[in-house]
Amino acid sequence: MSSDTNLFSSFQLGSLTLPNRIVMAPMTRLRAGDGGVPISANATYYSQRASAGLIITECTMISPQSQGYLNCPGIYSPQQVEGWRVVTNAVHEKGGRIFLQLWHCGRISHPALQAHGELPVSPSAIPAEGQLHTPNGKQSMIAPHALEIKEIQEIIQDFHKAAENARTAEFDGVELHGAFGYLIDQFLQDGSNHRTDEYGGSIENRAKFLLEVVEAVASVWGGNRVGIKFSPSNTYYSMVDSDPKTTFSYTIDALNRFDLAYIHLMEPEAKDLATREVLHPVASIFRPIYNGTLIANGGFTKESGNKILAEGNADLVSFGKSFLANPDLPKRFELDAPLNSPNSKTFYGQGSHQPEVGYTDYPFFDRAA
């Protein structure tokens, strides 16, 4: 990679020209309105951050079944689509580019979060550890329903329809959430997938669901407007694989044939490193395997972001908490300006109740001040 490649150099992402390599990472904020419909504060929040080379939205439900948290947005109803169109128009008016992250929680759910009290679903009837917020207070997760083949095909169609709805809402592309122990990840890793049919057992079978989802979504968008996020070293929600390097090496190599917009790789967090031995650093392990664009994510600063770009282990770098607290993060990086500190107490909102607090009220940099 050229020595002058840095966070401020432009990048050609398929047919999209990114003015910089600073990506806004997807971050769950739990500030959608009733029925998972985006509200005006969501449009303000994303348009404030339109100077990013690329914005990737928070995880967004592809169906009622996919829900695992309260106050999350969806992309399966006409009202949700129209709500998101307000967001994309606001971002585009500011000259930005925005991908929608498509999401199915799988077993990270509870009957209290399902439309008719059904069990959450997963490749196998193995519960994750932990509790979730529900309308009835905190509840421990329970054993999910193991999906039948017909139900798997229906979920693939839900991804396809969500991809169509994202086009209608005028996004620039979509990212599949294959990380953090949600449904795609549950199929991939053998700690959560004990199936003995065509979707379980060998890594070729465990990757089948993901590859069929990618094919369905790419049929709507074309591969170069589709990304996918992985977290090979994530230990949250009881996730474990007996051979993660082989599992993710096979999967990432198999994705080369789709000519995707990118793969988005998460480095382990401190909690992951403290829990057990995990792959680290992730990007440099899988960079030689993947032929396309790679986004690195996980605690990067301006300095470490420039370093991974210069080393050639990533093409773009995504920032989460620092973008949450600094709507003008690219400008602050460029000017070496001080950064606002994120307030963890306001990371997650309560629907339409004071959604601006800790969301749209972080100040922009003022040189004079």
Mean pLDDT of 296-317: 97
Distances in whole angstroms, Cα of residue 260 to Cα of each of 236, 291, 339: 27, 10, 33
Residue 9 has pLDDT above 80, yes or no: yes
Each residue's pLDDT tens digit, 128-143? 999 999 999 999 999 9
Would residue 182 show up in a list of annotated catalytic residues for this protein? yes
Amino acid letter, residue 326: N
**With 50 as the cut, is the pLDDT of residue 1 above it?**
no
The phi, psi pair for 39, rounded to 5°, reads -115, 175
Residue 285 CB partners (closer than 8 Å, separation 6+)? 245, 279
| Tens of pLDDT, residues 96-108 | 999 999 999 999 9
**Residue carrying structure tokens 């029925």:** 35
- Domains of the chain, first to last: 11-346 (3.20.20.70)
Lowest mean pLDDT among 3-17, 35-49, 252-266, 278-292: 3-17
| Residue 4 pLDDT grade (very low, low, confident, very high; cuts 50, 70, 90) | confident
Three-class secondary structure of residue 100 per DSSP: strand
Q: Assess contact for 203 and 251: CB atoms under 8 A.
A: yes
Q: What pLDDT, on the 0 to 100 scale, is given for residue 368?
A: 53
Catalytic residue of the set 45, 46, 76, 182:
182
What pLDDT, in 10s, does the model give residues 66-121? 999 999 999 999 999 999 999 999 999 999 999 999 999 999 999 999 989 999 99
196-244 residue pLDDT tens = 999 999 999 999 999 999 999 999 999 999 999 999 999 989 999 999 9
Distance CA 74, CA 325 (A): 24
- Decide: 301 and 307 in contact? Cβ < 8 Å: no
Chain mean pLDDT for the chain: 95
Give pLDDT tens digits for 332-357. 999 999 999 999 999 998 545 678 99
Residue 296's SS3 state is strand
Whole-structure pTM value: 0.96
pLDDT of 354 reads 78
Average pLDDT over residues 138-166: 98
pLDDT higher than 50, residue 281: yes
| H/E segment holding residue 316 | strand 316-319
